[in-house]
A = this chain, B = another copy of it.
């Protein structure tokens, strides 16, 4: 990293509460409070852009956000449109809805909008993604693979992501869709990446690209492959189970903190962890 990152990421495991306490979306709304620009809802991932735009606009207005704008990206040239780039350039918060993460990256990857997104993030904007919008955040994203099944080499599909967060892979709907197998597979492919499995109605709020805290009602699973001394990934045929020894796993709940640089969870009694109840 050349410059210190001043922005924040809010990475949501999907199905965030939209009707009751709305803890996570309230935190998203709060990110706009002291900023001048709008909250921009980007519907690039979804096949139902109008429906999601309407739903999120109503929620964020209800949560007190004064300016909510919608950026409806349906093809690659939409990410080159100077008006769209300008909208991102002035945004306090950019919110990526769910849908298909490949729709996000294939449409905005390396576009003027993409470069602008990185710039506003470095300068202090908050970038939010839920479900597919969450999966798309890292350098490399998981795009497919079976749920509720143990990992077979051939089954996992990955692709280059938005690159807003390095050295992690992210999977959403984590416990709900039984995705431990595929996250373990993704980490075993290259243990330099920390695996983050985020449950529904649960989020990590990453500050300055260096640490996060957990929000919401579910758990965040951190899969650390640094101590893997043996995996069968390079040996076995495509349909075999991938053997992996000595994976480290942390399970975190609301208000827990994690240091991404040191790859360590913080105990609630550690001084740095001042947010823990």
CA of A175 to CA of B184 in the docked complex: distance in angstroms? 12
Shortest Cβ distance from A12 into chain B, in angstroms?
A: 15
Interface residues of A, CB < 8 Å — how many? 40
Contact assessment for A150 and B218 in the assembled complex, using a CB-CB cutoff below 8 Å: yes
- Closest B residue to A264 using CB positions: B245
Q: Is A171 an interface residue (CB 8 A)?
A: no
Contact assessment for B177 and A251 in the assembled complex, using a CB-CB cutoff below 8 Å: no
Q: Is A176 an interface residue (CB 8 A)?
A: yes
Q: Is A178 an interface residue (CB 8 A)?
A: yes
CA of A240 to CA of B246 in the docked complex: distance in angstroms? 27
Shortest Cβ distance from A3 into chain B, in angstroms?
A: 32
**A148-B178, A150-B175 are known contacts. Are A251 and B246 too (CB-CB below 8 A)?**
no
Instruction: Give residues in A with beta carbon < 8 Å to B.
Output: 147-151, 174-178, 180-181, 184, 199, 217-219, 221, 230, 232, 236, 240-254, 256, 265, 267-268
Contact assessment for A176 and B199 in the assembled complex, using a CB-CB cutoff below 8 Å: no
**A256-B243, A265-B245 are known contacts. Are A251 and B184 too (CB-CB below 8 A)?**
yes
**Set of chain B residues within 8 Å of A236, measured between Cβ atoms:** 253
Contact assessment for B240 and A254 in the assembled complex, using a CB-CB cutoff below 8 Å: yes
Contact assessment for A249 and B251 in the assembled complex, using a CB-CB cutoff below 8 Å: no
- Closest B residue to A188 using CB positions: B251
**Set of chain B residues within 8 Å of A242, measured between Cβ atoms:** 251, 253
**Set of chain B residues within 8 Å of A147, measured between Cβ atoms:** 178
Contact assessment for B267 and A230 in the assembled complex, using a CB-CB cutoff below 8 Å: yes
Further pairs besides A148-B178, A244-B251: 8, Cβ < 8 Å: A148-B175, A150-B199, A150-B251, A175-B180, A176-B178, A245-B265, A245-B267, A247-B248
